[in-house]
Amino acid sequence: MNEHRIEIVVNGRKRTASVEPRKVLADVLREDCELTGTHLGCEHGVCGACTVLVDGDAVRSCLMFGVQADGAEVTTIEGVAPGGGELSDVQAAFRDCHGLQCGFCTPGFVITVRAFLAENPRPTDAEIRSALSGNLCRCTGYQGIIAAVRQVVRQRTGLPPGAEPPASDIRPPSVPVAP
């Protein structure tokens, strides 16, 4: 099959690749750019694991062909942390809040949250849930992920997440029972 030469700026670096027209962006990133942090959980646009930023917008890289990204700027999960072992605030919040267990879905969530909070810096709980509803996680039951987003909102704005409904972080005390 004939191949096309494409040029993408990935995480600030210019990359070129020669790809078949049918090759999806996720595979171009994973195979040609050897950036394997972008995961494929379904290859049909539902799970969100493959989410990357293309020219600032969160897109599903399994639904976009590599040739369509020619000339674009792409941010993958590898481009999110500042480096040197430091984490971005979103990543740190996922760690603090047990927002990941197996970690397979996490790159997609981190990118989604980053794009979402850029647009809506102080979302309500309902808005958080709806923004996350395009990403699937099978391990966490979403509890830690939602808590992580709230943490970022609190840290960035100094305020609790948007008005209604109040985010309850209250937990009942343990009840010790004699053995």
In the list 70, 88, 104, 129, the residue contacting ligand FES (rule: CB under 6 A) is: 104
CB of 66 closer than 8 Å to CB of 28: yes
Which tokens is 93 given? 């919040």
The residue within the footprint of ligand FES, chosen from 11, 75, 91, 140 (CB under 6 A), is: 140
Stretch that binds ligand FES, among 40-48, 76-84, 125-133, 166-174 (CB under 6 A): 40-48
Shortest Å distance, C-beta 110 to ligand FES: 11
Task: Point out which residues pair with 14 in neighbouring strands.
Answer: 9
Contact status, residue 145 vs residue 94, Cβ threshold 8 Å: yes
Single out the residue of 144, 151, 153, 162 in contact with other proteins (rule: CB under 8 A): 144
Return the DSSP state at 31. Answer: I
- The DSSP result for 41-90, as a single string, is S-SSSSS-TTEEEETTEEEETTTSBGGGGTT-EEE-GGGTS-BTTB--HH
Mask for 45-84, x = binds ligand FES (CB under 6 A): xxxxxx---------x-x----------------------
Nearer to ligand FES, 23 or 60 (CB): 60
Q: Which residues are CB-neighbours of 80 under 8 A, at least 6 positions away?
A: 88, 90, 91, 110, 111, 114
- Quote the DSSP letter at residue 24: B
Give residues 25-64 in contact with other proteins (rule: CB under 8 A). Answer: 30, 34-44, 46-47, 49
CB of 83 to ligand FES, least distance (A): 24
Centre a 10 Å sphere on the Cβ of residue 92 and count the other Cβ atoms it contains.
16
User: Which is closer to ligand FES, CB of 11 or CB of 140?
Assistant: 140
143 near ligand FES (CB under 6 A):
no
By the rule CB under 6 A, 35 interacts with ligand FES: no
User: Choosing among ligand FES, other proteins, none, which partner's interface includes residue 153 (Cβ < 5 to 8 Å by kind)?
Assistant: none
CA atoms of 179 and 169, how far apart (whole Å): 30
Where does this chain bind ligand FES (CB under 6 A)?
A: 40-43, 45-50, 60, 62, 100-105, 137-140
